[in-house]
Amino acid sequence: MALLSHLMFFCMMIVVVSSRGAIYTPPSVPHLTDRFNHVPINQGYSEFFGHSNIHLMSNGSIANLILDNSSGSGLVSRNKYNYGFFSAGIKLPSGFTSGVVIAFYLSNADLFPHNHDEIDIELLGHEKRREWVLQTNVYGNGSVHTGREEKLYLWFDPTQQFHQYSILWNTHHIVFLVDNVPVREFIHSAAISSVYPSKPMSVYATIWDASEWATHGGKYPVNYQYAPFVASFWEIEMEGCILQHPTADSAATSCSRRGFSSLDPVDGEEFAKLSQEQINGLEWATRKFMFYSYCKDTSRYKVLPPECHAN
């Protein structure tokens, strides 16, 4: 009976792990998020949309963004940045979240509606017993019809506690990081200079209904019986070159560095390329968790984008 009990317990543990996804320990990497100061949300952000669904707590250091059948919600940074390091600790809603998207991203569509840039971290909700999906995307100079998406599963349960989602953007590369582990590097080269994001951008945090496309191409829309969906944000970091008096004619160089850290993610040499530890982390994440890359989608792209040939 003792042996049978142990076997039953072991089988139950397998079911629990398989229904939530296996938990993996990533390689050791530098903790960039420990090297920049946090910006209180109520000081660094303004309301973008969904006023009644934005709840600030802990003296403005935490924001709960809510999606219900009345509206989603979002925040936008008070400043615009021309390159920098941007990060947020995010805790995702649990349960049946298909069609729900939580996004942490940079965009300048307000100033450049016809040729805007965008750098996206999007967290795509799931149907029952499926994992959240991390989608990254890069748009440059209005190329919004040419998505450069990559999709990965996460190596942890993102609904249990806060995890850090970060973007490093400078003239050398764009790096997406999760808990400081690089999950994607988009390198600036002459071949893609015309579509590399280069104009000043605002930083956004949003939750919204993406039923038309988010979960298996829109197969599973948002089910508001499970609402409200709450995404929590804290430990915001925004360190970069702040644009002064932004207009649509603003030159990319008309900005100043006003960060508190002595580290410079814009021009600092240590941010120009990945360290060997970061390369190891990137290879680990893409090998184990990536399941879609536009560079491998030959049915969508008869001629692959130029940067794909360097990968």
Cα separation of 220 and 216, whole Å?
Answer: 7
- Mean predicted lDDT score pLDDT of the chain: 87
200 and 185 Cβ atoms separated by less than 8 Å:
no
> Is pLDDT of 296 > 60?
yes
- Predicted confidence (pLDDT) at residue 251 exceeds the cutoff of 90: no
CB atoms within 10 A of CB 60: 13
| Domain boundary assignment for the chain | 35-245+273-310
- Percent of all residues in the chain with a pLDDT value above 90, rounded to a whole number: 67
Task: Retrieve residue 195's tokens.
Answer: 């579509």
The band of 308, judged by pLDDT with boundaries at 50, 70 and 90, is confident
35-245+273-310 maps to which CATH number? 2.60.120.200
Confidence of residue 145 (pLDDT cuts 50, 70, 90): low
Report the pLDDT value the prediction gives residue 261, as an integer from 0 to 100: 60
130 with 224: CB under 8 angstroms? no
d(CA 286, CA 51): 38
* pLDDT band (50, 70, 90) for residue 127: confident
CA distance 186 to 172: 9
pLDDT over 50 at 9, yes or no: no
Q: What is the pLDDT of residues 202-233, one digit of tens each?
A: 999 999 998 887 677 777 789 999 999 999 99
Token pair, residue 217, equals 């191409």
Q: Alpha carbon 99 to chain centroid distance?
A: 17
Rg, Å, the chain Cα set: 20
Mean pLDDT of 110-120: 92
List, in order, residues 6 or more apart from 21 with CB less than 8 Å away: 131, 153, 154, 157
Distance CA 12, CA 291 (A): 28
At residue 8 the predicted structure's pLDDT band, cuts being 50, 70 and 90, is very low
Residue 99 Rama label (left phi>0; alpha psi -120 to 50; beta): left
Tokens standing for residue 29: 């990497």
CA distance 267 to 271: 7
Query: Cβ(118)–Cβ(257) under 8 Å?
Result: no
Per-residue pLDDT reduced to its tens digit, 51-95 = 999 999 999 999 999 999 999 999 999 999 999 999 999 999 999
The total of other beta-carbon atoms located within 10 Å of residue 302's CB is 6
pTM for the predicted model, two decimal places: 0.89
Report, as residue numbers or ranges, the catalytic residues.
118, 122
User: Which helix (H) or strand (E) is 165 found in, with range?
Assistant: strand 163-169
Q: What is the mean pLDDT of residues 238-249?
A: 80
